[in-house]
Structure 1
Amino acid sequence: MKLLGIETATNLCGAAVVDEAKILSERSLTTPQIHSEKLVPIIDECLRDANCDLSDIDGIAISIGPGSFTGLRIGLSVAKGLSFSSGKPLVSVSTLKAFAFESHRKKITGNAGSILSLIDARRNEVYAALYDITSGGLNELISPAAFTLEQIFELSSDGKTVFVAGDETGKFKKFVEKVESKQASAYIIPFPGLSGASAVGVALLGIEKLKRGEDEKIDLLEPLYVKEFYTIVQQPKVKS
């Protein structure tokens, strides 16, 4: 089964084509705010590198969030358009699970402990989810939600090994320092370029969902924002 994976939930803008567990191609950029301009060319290059086009793949997987509101909207819009035009099924993948999956797939975490996925949510919060490492893969312990660092620490500081996957923001580092100060074993999961998810992880998780028949209804699928979308309304100037 061949799948096209798309990742735009963070600064990473990427695509990958996989055939079961085999990675056929992967392209990505980590420059902020280039998703609207670069995503479609990246997908085209990825398909070309894999020697296929949309008619040759079995489905499309999109990183659904949480993450950058703008990035999520751009990625989902493109994924929906490709799915609609090609007739290929579309599956959604949690961005935080893709973070955890990548660290586990690359055997960085070992086979015991928990993986905590973090994304900076701004406003003194992080998006987070916690996964237990089992022989069968990853078992979700805490679903994706917005938390303060203090809340996350209380949820995950149970003495187990905590592997931390996420972008290395100030909040990310502060959390790791807190875990280490309590003498728990915390490991920062290093990724090339942007630390976190990749389109490969999204595609591989997408294959699992597609095999289970968990494709989405395109017209009903929305990004997983978790938090409200904040907009700044500029107040009109008062004439003196």
Structure 2
Amino acid sequence: MKLLALDTATAACSVAAWDDGEVVERFEWVEHGHSERLLPLVDEVLAEVGWELTQCDALAFGCGPGSFTALRIGAGVTQGLAFGADLPVVPVSSLAALAQGQNAPRVLAAFDARMSQIYWGAYARNAKGLVELIGQERVTSPADLALVGNEIWLGAGNGWTVYRQALRQAVGEAVEISDDDLYPHARDVAELAAGSVEAGETVKAEEAVPRYIRN
């Protein structure tokens, strides 16, 4: 299975070609430059793997939550590519992609949502090595992040960096905070999307829309 995946939910921008688990990825810190860098990264990745876009079985994109503007750019590019190549699309939570990239069985993924809030979700890894959401993804104040169960969790994402003190007060010592991989990667978007493609759980190009959580 060949997938092209991208993520623009945060200040990072990434594109990955996924071929039955073999991955080529471009990942850049762009802050506000997603519109300038996303399509060139797509071209670079496709050129490296030697694919035409029409050879892909599907496209996958990080649908959020995250930066409203950056998410719209990612969704718009995904729609355009999918329409042009007549490909199905798999929207993947960017929080889930972040969690998938961590070497831990349980992950509390959190992004800075500005306005003294975080986007967050709790994920547990299943027998196939893929993370699954426990409960719902939310936008709350850091003080309202709630642990699930009594296990030790890994806290990942830039939300833990920006609001470290407030989050530590909320969860105590039950969370080990990671300072690595603060942003989601397209390679993990692709890995999560592969199962959806196999199960036929895709959407049409026009249905590839962001998921903001916050209205």
Structure-2 change in CA distance of 1:189 and 1:211 (3 Å): farther
Q: CA deviation at 1:132?
A: 2.2
Of 160, 165, 173, 1:174 maps to: 165
Structure-2 change in CA distance of 1:185 and 1:82 (3 Å): closer
Task: Report the equivalent of 2:177.
Answer: 187
Distance in 2 of aligned mates of 1:185 and 1:143:
19
Task: Report the equivalent of 2:144.
Answer: 151
Task: Report the equivalent of 1:2.
Answer: 2
Q: Percent of counterpart pairs with the same letter?
A: 30
- CA offset digits 1:155-197 (Å, max 9, x no partner): 21743201011025321x22553367x3325231512xxx121
Number of residues paired by the alignment?
A: 213
Matched, 1:131 2:130: no
Q: CA deviation at 1:22?
A: 1.1
- CA offset digits 1:170-225 (Å, max 9, x no partner): 21x22553367x3325231512xxx1210100111111111111111322332101
Give the alignment's Cα RMSD to 1 decimal.
1.8
- Map 1:10-49; keep pairs closer than 5 Å: 10-23=10-23, 25-49=24-48
Larger Rg: 1
Whichever residue aligns with residue 156 of structure 2, its letter is A
Distance in 2 of aligned mates of 1:146 and 1:185:
19
Task: Report the equivalent of 2:205.
Answer: 218
The answer to whether the 8 Å contact 1:20/1:204 transfers is: no
Task: Report the equivalent of 2:110.
Answer: 118
Task: Report the equivalent of 2:154.
Answer: 163
Q: CA deviation at 1:89?
A: 1.1
The answer to whether the 8 Å contact 1:163/1:189 transfers is: no
Distance in 2 of aligned mates of 1:196 and 1:214:
25
Residue 67 of structure 1 aligns to a residue whose secondary structure is: coil
The answer to whether the 8 Å contact 1:176/1:188 transfers is: no
Structure-2 change in CA distance of 1:50 and 1:125 (3 Å): same
Residue 197 of structure 1 aligns to a residue whose secondary structure is: coil
